[in-house]
Chain A
């Protein structure tokens, strides 16, 4: 069973501060994703990565940066946090199998509050 670990579980930040959300996966998956979940929107993709050194913009990348320094680690960075970024953030990993999409494995989520 793939393990995806997010840290911290909860974070309170001030407007204008820098926030880094971390994600670690132990199943050697190539692909990793950062989503945010807000009421009425389901999950929305922020950034994703196909492997170490790769970062790609998702559907809502503005205000976020991502870093994939290794196969195992994928970070989401808010350089200047804003209250609109208050949300629950999920990291996921997966391995595309040939021509088909992948089964995603999710972390437990990080609840971020920006005051």
Chain B
């Protein structure tokens, strides 16, 4: 079936550095969403993209508008509060349901 592959599975960075997370899709997707889960388990929605890029503060996400087979999430100047597990979820064409990646566990160190 349709798959969403996230990489890396885990990442440890020092404060102030930049990082990039990626989701690859085994088929063309209609849209992608990015979520962050904190240490208490709460999930928040970061971005929804049907194409192009979106930016919010130090976070920026892009969705490959040509082949629609991958998305990236960039974190600039990482801060301690950015720690958590980041999930991407994609919507396949013709189906409003989301297919989830397994997450990237991000640890930001002082």
Residues of A that sit less than 8 Å from B by CB:
40-45, 48, 58, 88, 90, 96, 100-106, 108-109, 111
Contact = CB atoms under 8 A, between A and B. Distances in A.
Contact of B33 (A48, A103, A111): A103
A108 B41 contact: yes
Interface of B: 4, 6, 30-31, 33, 35, 40-45, 48, 50, 87, 89, 91, 96-98, 100-103
Contact of B45 (A40, A41, A88, A104): A104
Contacts of A104: 33, 45, 98
B101 A42 contact: yes
Most buried by A among B4, B33, B91, B96: B96
Contacts of B4: 42
B87 A43 contact: yes
Given A44-B100, A100-B31, A103-B33, A108 B42 contact: yes
A39 to B, nearest CB: 9
Given A100-B50, A101-B96, A42 B33 contact: no
A109 B42 contact: yes
